[in-house]
């Protein structure tokens, strides 16, 4: 077991929790970070535990450095629980915090609209489009471009945007010299790609 496994537990039970908090109590620094990393690690398998850890973070944090990641853990946990309204509120909170602290950025500017579009959360459509338009200059990796155009295509049923998203999905290298395999559209997006193909052929 590596030294940092204690705050990256993928499973959770009473013994693991007891061990985690015992080590957290002894931590001389980075306590906030350990809480947030553990919360992020549990969003899929133990979302309720993750939410509890996020609440503990906000109740005891020493500064706001990890707020963005903590809010992301909250949003992802609510998504896992299918509590959509709470998830959307958390994603909007991430964007608000990023606007307040520009040095703390995440991929929420494309992830949030993409989730809104693929889950057909209609009441979020206008805000999702605004977020996309506001952050177009931040696009970097092929996956970013894919999500950006895919979200617009799905929300507006736009064949032109669908074609652009499909083009991004075909890119096999990131264009970054030392990170050629980072940010590529993977097989987990096949369902969305099929939807985009239909939009592309029926609306162009």
With a cut of 60, say whether residue 74 has pLDDT above it. Answer: yes
pLDDT on residue 172: 84
Stretch 111-135: mean pLDDT: 98
Over pLDDT 70: what percentage of the chain?
93
pLDDT on residue 174: 67
Stretch 49-76: mean pLDDT: 96
pLDDT on residue 151: 98
Q: What is the DSSP string of 149-185?
A: HHHHHHHHT-HHHHHHHHHHHT--S-S-TT-TTTT--
With a cut of 80, say whether residue 89 has pLDDT above it. Answer: yes
* Spatial distance between the Cα atoms of 86 and 93, rounded to a whole number of angstroms: 10
With a cut of 70, say whether residue 119 has pLDDT above it. Answer: yes
């Amino acid at each position: 077991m590596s030294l940092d496994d204690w705050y990256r537990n993928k499973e959770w039970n009473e013994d693991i929790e007891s061990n985690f908090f015992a080590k957290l109590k002894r931590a001389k620094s980075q306590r906030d970070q350990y809480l947030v990393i553990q919360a992020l690690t549990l969003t899929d398998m133990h979302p309720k535990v993750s939410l509890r850890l996020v609440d503990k973070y906000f109740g005891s944090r020493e500064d706001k450095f990890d707020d963005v990641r903590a809010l992301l853990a909250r949003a992802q946990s609510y998504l896992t629980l299918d509590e959509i309204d709470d998830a959307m509120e958390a994603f909007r909170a991430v964007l608000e915090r990023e606007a307040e602290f520009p040095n703390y950025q995440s991929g929420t500017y494309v992830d949030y609209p993409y989730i809104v579009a693929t889950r057909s959360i209609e009441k979020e459509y206008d805000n999702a489009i605004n977020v996309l338009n506001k952050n177009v200059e931040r696009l970097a990796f092929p996956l970013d471009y894919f999500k950006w155009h895919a979200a617009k295509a799905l929300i507006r049923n736009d064949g032109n945007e669908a074609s652009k998203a499909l083009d991004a999905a075909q890119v096999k290298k990131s264009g970054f010299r030392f990170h050629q395999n980072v940010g590529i559209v993977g097989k987990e997006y096949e369902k969305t790609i099929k939807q985009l193909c239909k939009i592309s052929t029926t609306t162009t």
